[in-house]
């Protein structure tokens, strides 16, 4: 078998060894992150898409209550930014066509320029037109939109409103190429925070949306009247009456706010607009709603509330195409007591809210809320907080063909229902979690416990989840990790000799960030051995569960034995990679730079272990579940193994190098070694059944995003099962058999899995002004929901620091909620790892 493979590989170098693994999501359910945009096709029933800021695009399934990802083969390590979808557009004349603007950041967190991708088969396959500037799917203002629009009179004409001062772009060949509309000069002046020096909040937000007026007739085969909304506090709405040749600011328009949405109601000849005085998705403390009557050229302020009741901007704008004059608008962020939705059926003359105070603190809810499809949303959020309807509501859409069917995106999930017109009759509607199939978690760590919980998934924004056994993987959990509920659980570990003992740590400053479980991660309690100053990083539990070793984000490496106070482990550098021996309670291991450390006194002290030839960065340490002293160490030059407690190391002989997260899992006979790294098929997930001598690409066509943000765990209970956690597409699992020494039956040799399904064309026109240079990012999927009734909590995740302190080598220098130094000492560069963590390298 092996010889046969080698011959085949020698015969054609384009071939690589690949096993037939079929990946599917672990069903956490309910989305879990921010959904900035949803679009319905105007004439084809049930055709709709939801875009994610870091997790790609989903298509609504028939039946209207579940979703299928359609970008799962286009976001590998080299093009991970394709999961940052800044805009989506449908072709009104062809429901098979879908377009999206992709790219994650306009600063240097994203090395690549953006693209407009197009599909003519509802997302099954994609082609790409690469732009010569960046697109910011996870930048401020990502909920304004849609910035991309197809002319309803001409399928070849597509407009894209760019960020960063790059202006308005147009395609006249169905998206194959784009050129700049030079007559459109209002590129946007709004910058969310000019004092931000990290390049994230101080970029020009650019254009917000493009809306065609389908009632305006055509000029030269193209729709005559086009509105463009621009992120500017001055005049912000522009119009062309000649199919885009010339542009003017619309007379009489309001100023002082940014137009988040501009929606045409053709039967009324009106453009409706929601405004907020921030670009979102977290901010905005003032706003308005306007109706522009196009022929009469009159603006009417139809803001539903005023005075003290108006302390938020407006985002989501659902226009009922079946019932002219009927619309629903959403507060973008009303952080307390809850979001508010307002409905009118008389074009904004009068409004009714979806809840009202009766006598404080009681209120009438004119809705019932159902979270059956993702019960943890009730357990962890809706029942815990006054905010039930959500936050970051930038998209609220009424099905153009069914005024009862509506969907809205929040920072947590997608809500919606099928009885919206009851608002006008019984004045009570049904709101359900309708995000089934959307898995937008940013997974921080996955762990499988031998003889214990099958999967522990530590996640960003939604704490974490326990799946007790393999049969639970397709059932949305009843509850996230709670009491304490960390917004982000950054790391989790179990005790090798006491497998129901689990520890996890959280990433927020100012609270107790260590939790212990003695029932395998079902229930938890705060470990008061910590104080409220330490947070983040990674955690390791001693084999007998008596000692917690914690490599914090902000306070070095600390240790607590028998739940006594955490004390510094002075022999380890800040941000060391740590691991516990799973059998021998005395042993812990650590790595910092190229140096491997061993402790034989339960982490009280560490000394240097064996050397890792030519490695300069230790990235992960995985200890054997049964054999004391056995481990694998992942480094920038590949994997090393030790069987003598780290006294000496041998480089594994296979050709997977530059590895990141690695894992062991049970195989049919011996353990399988899994590694994210670079091998013969490129940067991806490999498995080895012979201790790293030969490797098989088990990722196949499945995208996991950037290889260095992925986490992996082999199942410790199900032979051949493996888990992957991604930054924005949730957790996956697959089961298979790998080849190598033990002779894998199902290993196949196929054409290279790295060949992209994306065809590329280039822009044909001149480049516009260079994007503003930038450095840092803050944004994540959902904003942390502080469980609090204060209006001032949870208003931002911005990590803007005013500190002039420099982070040291290996130190943290950025990430959501990070308030420490954001610049590195001499010679080191702040390097993005994931949304929660950047490091000086």
Ligand X SMILES: *[C@@H]1O[C@H](CO)[C@@H](O)[C@H](O)[C@H]1NC(C)=O
Active-site amino acid positions: 53, 461
When the beta carbons of 234 and 608 are compared against ligand X, the nearer one is 234
Cα–Cα–Cα angle for 174, 178, 179, rounded to 5 degrees: 140
Tokens of 491: 């790391």
Told to check if 112 binds ligand X by CB under 6 A, we report yes
The minimum distance between CB 231 and ligand X, in angstroms, equals 11
CA distance 631 to 573: 21
The minimum distance between CB 365 and ligand X, in angstroms, equals 5
Told to check if 277 binds ligand X by CB under 6 A, we report yes
The minimum distance between CB 258 and ligand X, in angstroms, equals 8
The minimum distance between CB 347 and ligand X, in angstroms, equals 11
The minimum distance between CB 247 and ligand X, in angstroms, equals 25
When the beta carbons of 82 and 553 are compared against ligand X, the nearer one is 82
Work out which of 6, 7, 24, 111 binds ligand X, going by CB under 6 A: 111
The minimum distance between CB 323 and ligand X, in angstroms, equals 8
Q: Are 640 and 631 in contact (CB under 8 A)?
A: no
When the beta carbons of 304 and 646 are compared against ligand X, the nearer one is 304
Binding part of the chain for ligand X, among 200-208, 291-299, 359-367, 401-409 by CB under 6 A, reads 359-367
Told to check if 424 binds ligand X by CB under 6 A, we report yes
The minimum distance between CB 108 and ligand X, in angstroms, equals 10
Work out which of 95, 132, 511, 701 binds ligand X, going by CB under 6 A: 132
Q: Are 212 and 229 in contact (CB under 8 A)?
A: no
Report the residue closest to ligand X, judged by CB: 368
When the beta carbons of 344 and 463 are compared against ligand X, the nearer one is 344
Told to check if 678 binds ligand X by CB under 6 A, we report no
When the beta carbons of 607 and 767 are compared against ligand X, the nearer one is 767
The minimum distance between CB 42 and ligand X, in angstroms, equals 23
Residues in the chain: 841
CA distance 315 to 392: 8
When the beta carbons of 324 and 375 are compared against ligand X, the nearer one is 324
- How far is residue 422 from each of residues 328, 346, 366, measured CA to CA in Å? 13, 16, 10
When the beta carbons of 190 and 524 are compared against ligand X, the nearer one is 190
Q: Where do the DSSP E strands lie in 536-637?
A: 538-541, 547-551, 557-561, 567-568, 577-580, 588-592, 595-599, 607-608, 618-623, 631-635
Residues 725-784 within binding reach of ligand X (CB under 6 A): 767
- How far is residue 744 from each of residues 620, 668, 686, measured CA to CA in Å? 27, 10, 14
Q: Where do the DSSP E strands lie in 747-799?
A: 747-751, 759-762
The minimum distance between CB 476 and ligand X, in angstroms, equals 22
Work out which of 137, 278, 280, 337 binds ligand X, going by CB under 6 A: 278
Q: Where do the DSSP E strands lie in 203-323?
A: 207-212, 218-219, 222-223, 226-230, 237-240, 248-249, 258-265, 270-276, 287-293, 298-301, 314-319
Which of the 8 DSSP states describes residue 812?
E
Told to check if 232 binds ligand X by CB under 6 A, we report no
Q: Are 161 and 763 in contact (CB under 8 A)?
A: no
When the beta carbons of 324 and 743 are compared against ligand X, the nearer one is 324
Q: Are 184 and 170 in contact (CB under 8 A)?
A: no
Told to check if 78 binds ligand X by CB under 6 A, we report no
- How far is residue 20 from each of residues 222, 680, 699, 730, 748, measured CA to CA in Å? 48, 17, 9, 21, 7
Consecutive H or E run containing 2:
helix 2-11
Q: Are 288 and 303 in contact (CB under 8 A)?
A: yes
The residues, ordered by sequence, that sit 6+ positions from 479 with a Cβ below 8 Å of its Cβ are: 375, 376, 379, 380
When the beta carbons of 352 and 384 are compared against ligand X, the nearer one is 352
Work out which of 366, 676, 732, 837 binds ligand X, going by CB under 6 A: 366
Binding part of the chain for ligand X, among 21-29, 205-213, 365-373, 525-533 by CB under 6 A, reads 365-373
Q: How is the chain split among helix, strand and coil, in percent rounded to 5?
A: 5, 35, 60
CA distance 49 to 299: 31
Work out which of 45, 249, 268, 365 binds ligand X, going by CB under 6 A: 365
Q: What is the dihedral of CA 372, 378, 382, 385, to 10 degrees?
A: 170
Q: Are 561 and 529 in contact (CB under 8 A)?
A: no
Told to check if 128 binds ligand X by CB under 6 A, we report no
Cα–Cα–Cα angle for 517, 520, 525, rounded to 5 degrees: 15
Work out which of 113, 172, 197, 554 binds ligand X, going by CB under 6 A: 113
Q: Sketch the per residue contact string, 306 through 345, with ligand X: x for CB under 6 A, - otherwise.
A: ---------------------------------------x
Q: Sketch the per residue contact string, 683 through 722, with ligand X: x for CB under 6 A, - otherwise.
A: ----------------------------------------
When the beta carbons of 277 and 650 are compared against ligand X, the nearer one is 277
Binding part of the chain for ligand X, among 64-72, 86-94, 333-341, 366-374 by CB under 6 A, reads 366-374
Binding part of the chain for ligand X, among 148-156, 362-370, 582-590, 723-731 by CB under 6 A, reads 362-370
Residues that bind ligand X (CB under 6 A): 111-113, 132, 277-278, 285-286, 345, 352, 364-368, 424, 428, 767
């Amino acid at each position: 078998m092996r010889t046969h493979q080698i011959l085949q590989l020698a015969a054609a170098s384009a071939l690589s060894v690949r096993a037939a693994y079929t990946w599917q999501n672990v069903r956490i359910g309910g989305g879990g992150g921010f959904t900035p945009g949803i679009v319905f096709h105007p004439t084809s029933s049930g055709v709709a898409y939801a875009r994610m800021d870091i997790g790609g695009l989903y298509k609504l399934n028939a039946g209207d209550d579940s979703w299928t990802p359609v970008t799962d083969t286009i976001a590998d390590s080299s093009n991970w930014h394709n999961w940052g979808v800044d805009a989506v557009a449908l072709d009104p004349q062809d429901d098979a066509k879908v377009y999206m603007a992709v790219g994650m950041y306009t600063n240097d967190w994203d090395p690549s320029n953006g693209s407009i991708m197009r599909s003519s088969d509802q997302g099954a396959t994609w082609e790409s037109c690469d732009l010569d500037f960046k697109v910011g799917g996870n930048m401020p203002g990502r909920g304004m939109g849609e910035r991309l629009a197809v002319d309803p009179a001409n399928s070849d004409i597509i407009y894209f409103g760019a960020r960063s001062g790059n202006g308005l772009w147009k395609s006249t060949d169905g998206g194959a190429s784009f050129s700049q509309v030079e007559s459109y000069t209002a590129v946007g002046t709004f910058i969310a925070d000019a004092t931000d020096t990290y390049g994230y909040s101080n970029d020009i937000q650019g254009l917000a949306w493009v809306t065609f007026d389908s009632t305006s007739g055509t000029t030269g085969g193209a729709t005559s009247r086009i509105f463009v909304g621009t992120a500017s506090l001055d005049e912000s709405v522009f119009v062309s009456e000649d199919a885009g040749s010339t542009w003017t600011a619309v007379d009489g328009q309001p100023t002082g706010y940014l137009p988040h949405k501009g929606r045409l109601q053709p039967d009324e000849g009106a453009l409706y607009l929601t405004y907020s005085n921030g670009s979102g998705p977290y901010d905005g403390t003032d706003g308005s709603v306007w109706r522009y009557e196009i022929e009469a050229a009159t603006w009417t302020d139809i803001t539903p509330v005023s005075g003290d009741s108006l302390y938020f901007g407006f985002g989501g704008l659902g226009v009922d195409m079946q019932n002219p004059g009927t619309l629903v608008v959403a507060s973008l962020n009303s952080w307390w007591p809850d979001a508010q939705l307002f409905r009118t059926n008389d074009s904004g003359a009068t409004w009714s809210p979806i809840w009202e105070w009766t006598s404080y603190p009681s209120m009438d809810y004119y809705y019932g809320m159902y979270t059956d499809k993702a019960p943890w949303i009730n357990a962890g959020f809706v029942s815990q907080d006054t905010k039930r309807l959500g936050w970051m509501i930038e998209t609220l859409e009424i099905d153009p063909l069914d005024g009862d069917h509506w969907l809205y995106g929040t920072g947590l999930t997608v809500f919606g229902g099928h009885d919206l017109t009851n608002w006008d009759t019984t004045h009570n509607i049904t709101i359900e979690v309708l995000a089934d199939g959307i898995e937008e978690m940013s997974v921080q760590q996955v762990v499988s416990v031998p003889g214990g919980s099958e999967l522990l998934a530590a996640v960003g924004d939604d704490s974490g989840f326990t799946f007790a056994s393999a049969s639970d993987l397709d059932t949305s959990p009843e509850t996230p990790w709670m009491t304490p509920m960390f917004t982000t659980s950054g790391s989790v570990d179990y005790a090798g000799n006491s497998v129901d003992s689990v520890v996890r740590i959280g990433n927020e400053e100012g609270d107790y960030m260590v939790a212990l479980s003695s029932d395998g991660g079902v229930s938890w309690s705060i470990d008061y051995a910590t104080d409220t100053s330490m947070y983040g990083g990674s955690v390791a539990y001693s084999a007998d569960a008596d000692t917690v070793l914690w490599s914090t984000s902000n306070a070095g490496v600390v240790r607590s034995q028998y739940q006594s106070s955490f004390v510094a482990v002075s022999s380890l550098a800040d941000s060391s990679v740590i691991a516990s021996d799973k059998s021998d309670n005395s042993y812990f291991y650590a790595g910092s730079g190229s140096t491997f450390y061993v402790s034989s006194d339960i982490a009280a002290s560490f000394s240097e272990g064996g050397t890792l030839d030519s490695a300069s960065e230790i990235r992960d340490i995985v200890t054997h579940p049964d054999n004391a002293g056995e481990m694998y160490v992942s480094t920038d030059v590949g994997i090393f193994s030790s069987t003598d407690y780290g006294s000496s190391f041998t480089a594994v002989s296979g050709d997977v190098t530059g590895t990141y997260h690695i894992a062991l899992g049970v195989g049919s006979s011996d353990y399988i070694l899994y590694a994210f790294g670079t091998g013969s098929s490129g940067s991806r997930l490999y498995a080895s059944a012979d201790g790293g001598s030969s490797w098989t690409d088990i990722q196949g066509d499945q995208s996991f995003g950037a290889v260095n943000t992925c986490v992996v765990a082999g199942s410790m209970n199900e032979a051949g099962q493996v888990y992957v956690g991604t930054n924005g597409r949730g957790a996956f699992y697959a089961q298979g058999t790998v080849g190598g020494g033990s002779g894998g039956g199902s290993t196949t040799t196929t054409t290279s899995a790295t060949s992209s399904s994306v065809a590329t064309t280039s822009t044909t026109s001149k480049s516009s002004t260079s994007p503003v240079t930038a450095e840092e990012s803050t944004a994540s999927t959902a904003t942390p929901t502080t469980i609090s009734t204060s209006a001032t909590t949870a208003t931002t995740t911005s990590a803007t620091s005013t500190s002039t302190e420099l982070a040291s080598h290996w130190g943290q220098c950025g990430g959501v909620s990070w308030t420490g130094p954001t610049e590195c000492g001499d010679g080191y560069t702040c390097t993005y790892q994931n949304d929660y963590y950047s490091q000086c390298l």
